[in-house]
Amino acid sequence: MSECVKRGPKDKDTIIFATKEDHSVPSKISLSEPEQQPGLIMPDGKINWNCPCLGGMATGPCGVEFRDAFSCFHYSDSDPKGSDCYNKFKDMQTCMQRYPTLYNKDLADDDDLSEAIEKSEKATAEAKAKEK
């Protein structure tokens, strides 16, 4: 027959001493269903910086720059979405270039990225010129 002992502050811990006979029969204990974990966006619309889907980006050496850029994009009301966040993403890219081994790629040598940035700058300048 098993025995239970309460320990710890306010008896918050329960220690169960089980006998060999206790383990010889299947358990009758049923566990509750695990709580649903929030994804990237919390139910209140805020960003869940602890989401494993971010892969530690929010806490690395460029975490501040990443959070600034991602927050800007998430809360952006501009059209197209995030077009007002160019400088924040550029700051993030600059930071990541300082840590190529950590971010698994030398972004400084990424011709496609440089080309995309140039096209984006040109399109932004053209759009601003049309507004005037």
pLDDT band at 55 (very low <50, low <70, confident <90, very high): confident
Question: Residue 48's closest CA among 69, 31, 70, 29?
Answer: 70
**How large a percentage of the chain has pLDDT more than 90?**
28
Q: Are 66 and 92 in contact (CB under 8 A)?
A: yes
Q: Lowest-confidence range among 2-6, 60-64, 66-70?
A: 2-6
Quick: pLDDT tens for 9-35.
888 888 888 888 888 888 877 878 877
Q: Which amino acid is at 123?
A: A
Query: Higher model confidence: residue 72 or residue 37?
Result: 72
Most confident of 9-13, 26-30, 63-67, 124-128: 63-67
pLDDT at 107: 46
Work out whether the CA dihedral 86, 87, 92, 93 comes out positive or negative: positive
Quick check: pTM over 0.75? no
Q: Which long-range contacts (CB under 8 A, 24 or more apart) does 116-124 make?
A: 117/90, 120/86, 121/86, 124/83, 124/86
Query: Higher model confidence: residue 85 or residue 112?
Result: 85
pLDDT at 116: 64
| Structural domains of the chain, ranges and CATH numbers in brackets | 52-116 (1.10.287.2900)
